[in-house]
Amino acid sequence: MEHLSGGSRRPNIILMMIDQQAASALSVYGGRVAKTPHIQGLADQGVVFDNAYTNFPVCAPSRFSMMSGQLASKIECYDNAAEFRASIPTIAHYLRYLGYKTTLCGKMHFIGPDQLHGYEERLTPEIYSADFLTMPQWDGEDDDFASDARQALVEAGPVPRTVQMDYDEEVGFNAEQKLFDLARSEDQREFFLTISFTHPHEPYLCRQEHWNRYSDDEVQLPHVGRFEDKHLDSHSRRIYRHYNLDAPGITDELVRNARRAYFGSMSYIDDMIGRLLNTLDETGLRNGTIIVLTSDHGDMLGERGMWFKKVFFQNAVRIPLILTGPGLEARRVSGNVSLIDLLPTLVDIAGPARSLKPAIPMAGNSFLALAKGQALEWPDTVFSEMTCEGVVEPVMMVKHGPHKYIYSASVPPLLFDLEQDPFELANLAGQNIVSEHEAHLRFLADETWGDLVALREKIVRSQKTRLFVRQALEQGRVFSWDDNPHTSTGGRYLRRGKSYNAWNYEGVERLRYRSES
């Protein structure tokens, strides 16, 4: 059988993930500040998808969608504390079935007792707790694990070290070592290696050397600033309150510092990627390896006065997606694709050695033909959803062509034409000029999700059930689902007993004081 590389041997596959990376901040997508030459180099050699989207602008559900090729709500992965069931087939299961050796290095935010999900091995623990620690409660919500945007902006700047830097150093070291191990291994199977970093995810802190690569003068303020409360749509008003974005004292200086630190974190991860690419070259693995670079979701970075994610505006849901390697030529693809398309695509790249039928129907489609410039037809539609903390009902998004539709059961919808309105300032919902587009998008949404009121009831039942299980398991002898429960973690992973915000900034001030003394 002839495979993607044009020979008899199938390509190795590396899935390289960065976390909370807004596509618009990268130079390949028009960003004019961040210095990421290694990512740009991948883009120059490979296929760049201009309209790639997350299926859920929150870490865990996004990754579960990507890994399973299913929308998160269909597999009951509603939030960052929803179990990813061991019975759900993943990319790793499919590629392992097809004869690939499968390794995970870094963050995948798996929740539940199964911390492998088809991977034969994992080289690092999860950075976040694998249990139901961060449970949302729509009927009496607890936001202990919601990021505080004002704190993130006040704290932004250079530091010697953070717990998240500790983690990514561990990921980078183990990934590089694994590449050397693979190169000298007698195991001749092709490999699927997932390398997943946690930067440039907030907090907006970076090392001094990466901070120094930028100046305040070159760090632009957001294109669209904060809105007064009376001008906010219902979805935006909700996220302002959830993240403490309506707090006083958020100045241009704070905004600029946070953006500068984010760009610094981008350069930090780009350096990591550069070292891995160099290792691929040194080991001779590069020419036979497909590299996929993407992110789980974006970051608003102050656009519209918003930070982080959990909204459907472009900076939060549009993500980078770059493919490079044997059989792929440099080109740009304009069609809408999303992370659920990755599973069928990688199976397509693997070139099944024997008959393979999906264990369950896949929601996504292989975009390999698009990547090779051969697709005659493409659905050009992406779906994204929010059923997590920060909302109190399902909020959904459908994008077809340039039109994006956002709706829930209880508040007025939003409809944007991104071709004419890239900053999403003009809500066209209900206007005759787009009535045909709106009707089509609403049809697609109803066909996909059905009754959102009934879905809300199902989610609340899940929340209450998981809350009870969490409370019961905190009594008596406590057993951890984390894959390193019996070793000292040095505080670099988020586990029970700490809030998200306290963990993020643990030791930062002491390190700052010592470095300045």
Structure token digits, residue 146? 């919601």
pLDDT band at 5 (very low <50, low <70, confident <90, very high): very low
pLDDT at residue 9, as a whole number: 82
pLDDT band at 375 (very low <50, low <70, confident <90, very high): confident
Query: Element (H or E) spanning 452, and its range?
Result: helix 452-473
Residue 112, class by beta-carbon neighbours within 10 Å (0-12 exposed, 13-18 middle, 19+ buried)? Answer: middle
161 CB neighbour count, 10 Å cutoff: 14
pTM of the model: 0.91
pLDDT band at 483 (very low <50, low <70, confident <90, very high): confident
Residue of 109, 201, 210, 297 marked active site: 109
User: Cα(387)–Cα(382) distance, rounded to whole angstroms?
Assistant: 17
* φ, ψ (nearest 5 deg) of residue 343: -60, -55
User: Cα(100)–Cα(10) distance, rounded to whole angstroms?
Assistant: 10
User: Cα(413)–Cα(438) distance, rounded to whole angstroms?
Assistant: 10
Q: What CATH number labels 12-379+488-506?
A: 3.40.720.10
Query: Element (H or E) spanning 158, and its range?
Result: strand 157-158
Under a CB-based contact definition with an 8 Å cutoff, are residues 81 and 126 in contact? Answer: no
Each residue of 348-365: b (16+ CB within 10 Å) or e? bbbbeeeeeeeeeebbbb
Instruction: Say which residue, 511 or 335, is predicted with more confidence.
Output: 335
What's the rounded mean pLDDT across residues 53-74? 97
In the predicted model, is pLDDT for residue 353 greater than 80?
A: no
User: Cα(71)–Cα(81) distance, rounded to whole angstroms?
Assistant: 16
pLDDT at residue 3, as a whole number: 41
Say whether the peptide bond before residue 203 is cis (omega within 30 degrees of 0): yes
What's the rounded mean pLDDT across residues 143-159? 83
Question: What's the pLDDT tens digit per position in 196-209?
Answer: 999 999 999 999 99
Lowest mean pLDDT among 75-79, 346-350, 459-463, 489-493: 489-493
Lowest mean pLDDT among 100-109, 128-137, 338-347: 128-137
Mean pLDDT of the chain: 91
User: Cα(28)–Cα(330) distance, rounded to whole angstroms?
Assistant: 13
pLDDT at residue 349, as a whole number: 94
pLDDT at residue 2, as a whole number: 37
User: Cα(325)–Cα(349) distance, rounded to whole angstroms?
Assistant: 11
pLDDT band at 485 (very low <50, low <70, confident <90, very high): very low
Question: What's the pLDDT tens digit per position in 241-274?
Answer: 889 888 888 999 999 999 999 999 999 999 999 9
What's the rounded mean pLDDT across residues 471-500? 70
Under a CB-based contact definition with an 8 Å cutoff, are residues 100 and 189 in contact? Answer: yes
In the predicted model, is pLDDT for residue 36 greater than 90?
A: yes
Under a CB-based contact definition with an 8 Å cutoff, are residues 222 and 255 in contact? Answer: yes
pLDDT at residue 487, as a whole number: 46
Question: What's the pLDDT tens digit per position in 395-449?
Answer: 999 999 999 999 999 999 999 999 999 999 999 999 999 999 999 999 999 999 9
450 CB neighbour count, 10 Å cutoff: 10
Please give the DSSP secondary-structure letter assigned to residue 494.
B
Per DSSP, what are the bridge partners of residue 395? 386, 408
Reduce the secondary structure of 426-441 to three states and give it as a string: CCCCCCHHHHHHHHHH
How far CA 222 is from CA of 219, 252, 336, in Å, comes to: 9, 10, 25
Instruction: Say which residue, 481 or 209, is predicted with more confidence.
Output: 209
User: Cα(333)–Cα(345) distance, rounded to whole angstroms?
Assistant: 15
Residue of 38, 59, 297, 388 marked active site: 59
Say whether the peptide bond before residue 412 is cis (omega within 30 degrees of 0): no
Per DSSP, what are the bridge partners of residue 295? 18
Under a CB-based contact definition with an 8 Å cutoff, are residues 9 and 3 in contact? Answer: yes
Sheet bearing 395-400, strands edge to edge: 381-386, 395-400, 403-408, 414-417
- Amino acid found at 133: L
Q: Is 59 a catalytic residue?
A: yes
pLDDT at residue 6, as a whole number: 43
In the predicted model, is pLDDT for residue 470 greater than 60?
A: yes
Instruction: Enumerate the domain spans of the chain.
Output: 12-379+488-506
Question: What's the pLDDT tens digit per position in 173-198?
Answer: 999 999 999 999 888 899 999 999 99
Q: Is 206 a catalytic residue?
A: no
